[in-house]
Homo-oligomer: A and B are copies of this chain.
Amino acid sequence: MEFKDNVPIYLQIEQRLIKQIVQGQLQAGDRLPSVRKLAVTETVNVNTVQRALRDLNMQGFIYTKRGEGNFVTDDQDLIADTKEQLIKQAVTDFLKEMQGLGLEHRSAQAALENYLRKEEQDGDSEH
């Protein structure tokens, strides 16, 4: 049983940026905030941000123009593939969590459906 398995900050930053790209919040070609700005908003050292961006660079998610900044890749396939993979991960994580609570896959699905139905009923009273 492993306790305290701290995800490194630079990885957290990477993951957050990847999500923003995949989600469309950061569009292809968009310029990222400067390394120093990110360091401030994340309340983290400049080097830590740079390490994250360096990784994203090597993974193809962003590209760097020296003296100008970092930009989101135009490789739509990469973005689509990543999104698919992240979704699959979220699904399996959910199923595993539910299994830990004693619910098999189809039961987990039923619980989700049940939740959504209730939510929509409540939602109706809001508009």
Contacts and interface: CB of A to CB of B under 8 A. Distances in A.
**Closest 6 pairs between A and B when the two form their complex, measured CB to CB:** A23-B102, A94-B94, A91-B115, A90-B97, A3-B9, A87-B111
A98 B90 contact: yes
Contact of A112 (B1, B4, B24, B112): B112
Contacts of A109: 109, 112-113, 116
Given A6-B5, A12-B3, A43-B1, A102 B83 contact: yes
Interface in A53-75: 58
Tallying the copies of this chain within the complex gives 4
A86 interface: yes
B102 A88 contact: no
Given A58-B58, A94-B94, A111-B87, A106 B101 contact: no
Contact of A86 (B7, B95, B101): B101
B116 A105 contact: yes
B97 A111 contact: no
A60 B27 CA distance: 32
Contact of A6 (B4, B112, B119): B4
A22 interface: yes
